[in-house]
């Protein structure tokens, strides 16, 4: 007789993940230590009163957006999951040159935003590592940008530059960020390949980057190659959806092995890289349940 056990509740899996974080030996690398400290704080969910207020305000906007039935038309330059060999061979190495025009509701688009836990991880990375010049690829409706910009505000300074390919989404994200009075964020509109060179020329050296757009494996590796010359030694690069498709999983494997990456932390759906600088190489696998 086959016995089917009930699925482990999410809070139990997160508690187990927290125990794994605590069991890890404290690394010599201070940046990796900061990343692990941020993960622990995010899993614990403990917030100072001013942090809690920012999270409350941003999540209130998220709820409003998720409930919206307002239509939004956009040109999507991203990828679709490419799990077969044929699809991977057919995948573009760069943004699709013309994109695909789609119409969705704002609510549908919001539900593809960075999850509350992933957004809290980004918030904690910025709070713990205190970067100043920050870049985001893939603004969507501005939820993740709001979390990162709020962390910069609480840190006492910094700037976030975020790029969104769809003009309609860029406009909505600007409105959402303005409603939160987060003036430290600048939203750029256009394909990453078109906009990124000028943005990097304005912002380098970067302390931090979050790559969350065009989920294609070769393109993801290519974006790291483009960002690397503009990253200071010890900079943090966070990649979202590293398990989204076979191609993205292959991209993460390549990034972990890249000699320009001094340390990597695999959080399951999100991967964190520390670039350049001296010190021992680290590789940590710490899948965090969503």
CATH number, domain of 253, equals 3.40.50.150
Beta strands in the chain (DSSP E): 71-76, 100-105, 133-137, 159-164, 185-189, 206-211, 231-240, 261-266, 270-275, 282-285
Output the pLDDT for position 79: 53
Sorting pLDDT into bands at 50, 70 and 90, what band is 32? confident
Q: Considering the entire predicted model, what is its pTM?
A: 0.87
| 227 vs 204: CA distance, rounded Å | 9
What pLDDT digit, counting tens, does each position of 227-240 carry?
999 999 999 999 99
pLDDT given for residue 215 in this prediction? 83
| Sign of the torsion formed by the C-alpha atoms of 226, 34, 271 and 214 | negative
221 Cβ contact list (under 8 Å, min separation 6)? 251, 254, 255
Establish if 92 belongs to a structural domain: no
Q: What is the pLDDT of residue 12?
A: 61
Q: Is residue 174 part of a domain?
A: yes
Domain for residue 79, yes or no?
no
Average pLDDT over residues 151-163: 97
Domain that holds residue 259: 10-62+113-285
- What integer best gives the mean pLDDT of the chain? 86
Give the span between the Cα atoms of 40 and 42, in whole angstroms.
5
What's the pLDDT at 280?
67
Query: Is 290 a member of any domain?
Result: no
Q: Name the domain count of the chain.
A: 1
pLDDT at 7 over 90: no
pLDDT given at position 10: 59
Q: Residue 85 falls within a domain, yes or no? A: no
**In the chain, what percentage of residues exceed pLDDT 70?**
81
Predicted confidence at residue 56, as pLDDT, reads: 97
The predicted pLDDT at position 24 comes to: 67
Q: Is 93 part of any domain?
A: no
Is 78 part of a structural domain of the chain? no
Structure confidence at residue 67 as a pLDDT band (50, 70, 90) = very high
Q: How many whole angstroms from its chain centre is CA 134?
A: 12
Cβ–Cβ < 8 Å for 163, 139: yes
Q: Is residue 198 part of a domain?
A: yes
Predicted confidence at residue 6, as pLDDT, reads 46
State yes or no: pLDDT of 93 exceeds 50: no
């Amino acid at each position: 007789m086959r016995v089917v056990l009930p699925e482990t509740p999410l809070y139990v899996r997160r508690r187990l993940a927290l125990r794994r974080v605590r069991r890890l030996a404290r690394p010599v690398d201070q940046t990796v230590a900061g990343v692990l400290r941020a993960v622990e704080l995010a899993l614990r969910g403990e917030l100072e009163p001013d942090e809690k207020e920012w999270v409350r305000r941003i999540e209130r906007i998220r709820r409003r957006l998720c409930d919206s039935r307002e239509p939004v038309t956009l040109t999507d330059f991203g990828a679709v999951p490419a799990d077969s060999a044929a699809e991977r061979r057919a995948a573009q190495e760069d943004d699709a040159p013309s994109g695909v025009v789609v119409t969705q509701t704002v609510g549908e688009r919001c539900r593809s935003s960075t999850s509350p836990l992933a957004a809290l991880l980004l918030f904690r990375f910025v709070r713990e590592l205190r970067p100043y010049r920050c870049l985001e690829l893939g603004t969507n409706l501005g939820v993740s940008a709001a979390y990162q910009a709020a962390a910069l505000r609480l840190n006492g300074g910094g700037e976030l530059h975020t790029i969104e390919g769809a003009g309609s989404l860029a406009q909505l994200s600007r409105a959402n960020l303005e409603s939160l009075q987060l003036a430290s964020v600048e939203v750029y509109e256009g394909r990453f390949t078109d906009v990124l060179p000028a943005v990097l020329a304005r912002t380098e050296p970067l302390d931090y980057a979050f790559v969350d757009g065009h989920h294609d494996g070769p393109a993801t590796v290519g974006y790291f190659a483009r960002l690397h010359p503009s990253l200071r030694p010890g900079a943090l690069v966070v990649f979202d959806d590293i398990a989204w498709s076979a191609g993205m999983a292959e991209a993460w494997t390549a990034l972990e092995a890249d000699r320009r990456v001094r340390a990597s932390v695999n959080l399951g759906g999100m991967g964190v890289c520390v670039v350049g600088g001296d010190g021992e190489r680290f590789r940590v696998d710490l899948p965090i349940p969503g």
